[in-house]
Structures are given as C-alpha cells and as structure tokens.
C-alpha cells in the first residue's frame, strides 16, 4: 500500500523525516528552500530537453483535453540541504496541460 505523508515546516525536523522514511512512507514536504532546490533540478533537465516521463495519462471530457505527466529524478540536493535532509532519495514533479 502506498503511504504518502504531507508536512509543513513545523514537522521538517530530521528525526521526524527519518521516522517516516523508516516506515517506507513517501513524504511531501512544504519547505521553500527545498522546493526551490527541487524546482532548479527539474528546470535544468527540462531546459536540456532530457526529461523522462514515468507516467503519462491523457483524457478528454467536458469539452476539453487534458494531459498529465509525472517526472522522477534521483535527488541531488545542494550540500546545505542534503546534509540536513538525508532521507530524500527521489524527487517527483507533475505537470498538467489542458486544452
């Protein structure tokens, strides 16, 4: 069973993240510096046109067409974040296009 835990800055302590990681749950962390680092990692990949789609879903209905894409990368956090948040292995981005 997939377990996803979402956290805000109050719970972004190393001990909390490690306990969740030990339980094999996936964590969504709302932390501006982490978000910026992950966004930069994906943007570099998109700019180089080297992105790889791991999930693609297309649907149409209600007079529109939607395309949903999910991308995944091995985490490469900058040292100032990586030393504090060591349990982040993968980062995931989602993108939706609607017409």
Q: Which two tokens stand for residue 9?
A: 């800055």
Q: What is the pLDDT of residues 6-43, one digit of tens each?
A: 555 666 677 777 777 787 776 666 677 877 888 888 88
Output phi, psi for 30, to 5 deg.
Answer: -100, 90
- Tell me what pLDDT residue 10 has: 61
Q: What is the pLDDT of residues 86-98, one digit of tens each?
A: 667 777 788 888 8
Q: What is the pLDDT of residues 54-75, one digit of tens each?
A: 889 999 988 889 998 888 888 8
- Tell me what pLDDT residue 58 has: 92
Give CA separation, 92 vs 53, 61, 63, 69, 82, in Å. Answer: 11, 27, 29, 11, 16
Helices (H) and strands (E) in the chain, counts: 3, 5
The mean per-residue pLDDT over the stretch 72-79 comes to 84
Q: Strands, DSSP E only, in 1-99? A: 4-7, 26-29, 53-61, 64-74, 90-98
For the question of whether the overall pTM of this predicted structure is more than 0.85, the answer is no
């Amino acid at each position: 069973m997939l377990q996803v835990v979402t956290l805000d800055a109050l719970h972004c302590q190393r001990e909390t993240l490690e306990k969740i990681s030990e339980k094999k749950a996936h964590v969504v962390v709302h932390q501006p510096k982490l978000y910026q680092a992950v966004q930069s990692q994906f943007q570099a990949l998109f700019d180089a046109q080297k992105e790889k789609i791991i999930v693609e879903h297309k649907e149409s209905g209600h007079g529109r067409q939607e395309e949903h894409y999910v991308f995944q990368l091995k985490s490469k956090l900058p040292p100032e974040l990586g030393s504090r948040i060591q349990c982040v292995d993968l980062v995931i981005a989602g993108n939706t296009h609607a017409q």
